């Protein structure tokens, strides 16, 4: 495990004793922001969630301590809170040791990522932190499904909601909001909740013919779209074992445009090996580096190459720590 006294605190893009709350995006390595790669490849410790692919986790620096802190879905609220409290404590404790800490979350950390609780913990503990935003799943799903989330004269607002089986049992939940005109709804939800949600939508007056789609594994080569209506979508996805998740639903008139807007799809690039993805990200950042920085970078690269030649091997692959 890394410690403040072992001389491995990162320099440059990150600061010792600081926590970075980083969004990993919808799943594809290519959807990461340059800043996310900078932080992930520089921090002493990385704590990552269940929905972050290992291809992204492996972009951490070779000497980093990598901890899996993923939480399973559909668990008791009290259990979930206990797990989150433990993560909060880890972040503060690691930073107070003088380590740079990357808290890596699927999607955007500010949207259903429970980042507010971590911000609260860090602020109370006097630990400096930075939030690194990301492409959230709703944007990737709209892009992959060829569904513009807003469209002139058809959809002038976007609502983002989280839905689960508990939502359909909540008497205080406002189902009337789904009757708002000119609105697209991006629903972060598991497929198990879909039948109950559609029943509630119809009961409140949403037309059975309102266009609705499931987007499974947005941004990944295995992405799939199942399009239908509020009345038909549950039966269309029922029993589909190939819809592995994570999935989300898009609801609104814009979903009905997807066939007209589909056009000719661009060829899907083959997934790049992790090393190639890291190389590509490095190339993106190089043009903005000053001459002095490039010279220091060259010295660092020469040192890494010499060390690897001496060891006679490539750096070890990242393996997640046991939960």
Cα dihedral 137, 139, 145, 150 sign:
positive
Q: Based on the number of CB atoms within 10 Å of its own CB, is 149 exposed (0-12), middle (13-18) or buried (19 or more)?
A: buried
71 is catalytic: yes
Are 17 and 23 spatial neighbours (Cβ–Cβ below 8 Å)? Answer: no
Residues 6+ apart with CB under 8 A from 312: none
Are 97 and 122 spatial neighbours (Cβ–Cβ below 8 Å)? Answer: no
The b-or-e profile of 69-103 (16+ CB within 10 A means b, else e) is bbbeeeeeeeeeeebbeebbebbbebbebbbbbbb
Q: What is the 3-state secondary structure (H, E, C) of 279-319?
A: HHHHHHHHHHCCHHHHHHHHHHHHHHHHHHHHHCCCCCCCC
The pair of structure tokens assigned to 101 is 């800490």
Catalytic-role residue among 6, 44, 49, 96: 49
49 is catalytic: yes
The pair of structure tokens assigned to 54 is 């290992």
Distances (CA, A) of 134 to 129, 130, 207: 16, 13, 34
Q: Identify whether 246 is preceded by a cis peptide bond (ω within 30 of 0).
A: yes
Distances (CA, A) of 28 to 47, 171, 188, 217, 282: 19, 37, 18, 9, 17
Query: Residue 65 is inside which H or E element, if any?
Result: strand 65-68
Catalytic-role residue among 6, 44, 71, 96: 71
- Could you list the active site residues? 49, 71
């Amino acid at each position: 495990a890394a410690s403040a006294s072992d001389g491995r605190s990162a320099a440059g893009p990150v600061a010792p004793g600081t926590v970075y709350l980083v969004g990993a995006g919808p799943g594809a390595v290519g959807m990461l922001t340059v800043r996310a790669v900078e932080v992930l490849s520089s921090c002493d410790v990385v704590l990552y969630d269940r929905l972050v692919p290992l291809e992204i986790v492996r972009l951490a620096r070779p000497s980093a301590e990598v901890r899996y802190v993923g939480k399973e879905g559909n668990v008791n609220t009290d259990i979930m809170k206990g797990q989150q409290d433990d993560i909060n404590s880890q972040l503060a404790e690691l930073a107070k040791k003088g380590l740079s800490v990357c808290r890596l979350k699927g999607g955007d950390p500010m949207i259903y990522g429970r980042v507010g609780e971590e911000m609260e913990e860090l602020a109370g503990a006097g630990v400096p932190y930075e939030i690194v935003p990301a492409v959230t799943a709703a944007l990737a799903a709209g892009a992959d499904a060829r569904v513009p989330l807003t469209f002139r004269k058809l959809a002038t607002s976007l609502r983002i909601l989280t839905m689960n089986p508990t939502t359909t049992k909540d008497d205080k939940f406002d189902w009337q909001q789904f009757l708002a005109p000119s609105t697209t709804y991006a629903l972060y939800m598991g497929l198990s909740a879909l039948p109950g949600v559609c029943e509630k939508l119809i009961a409140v007056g949403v037309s059975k013919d309102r266009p609705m789609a499931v987007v499974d594994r947005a941004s990944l080569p295995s992405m799939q779209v199942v399009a239908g209506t509020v009345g038909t979508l549950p039966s269309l996805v029922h029993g589909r074992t190939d819809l592995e998740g994570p999935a989300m639903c898009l609801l609104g008139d814009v979903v009905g445009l997807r066939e007209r807007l589909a056009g000719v799809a661009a060829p899907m690039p083959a997934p790049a090996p992790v090393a190639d993805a890291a190389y590509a990200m490095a190339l993106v950042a190089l043009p903005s580096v000053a001459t002095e920085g490039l010279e220091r970078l060259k010295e660092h690269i020469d040192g890494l190459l010499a060390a690897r030649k001496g060891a006679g091997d490539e750096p070890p692959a990242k393996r997640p720590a046991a939960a």
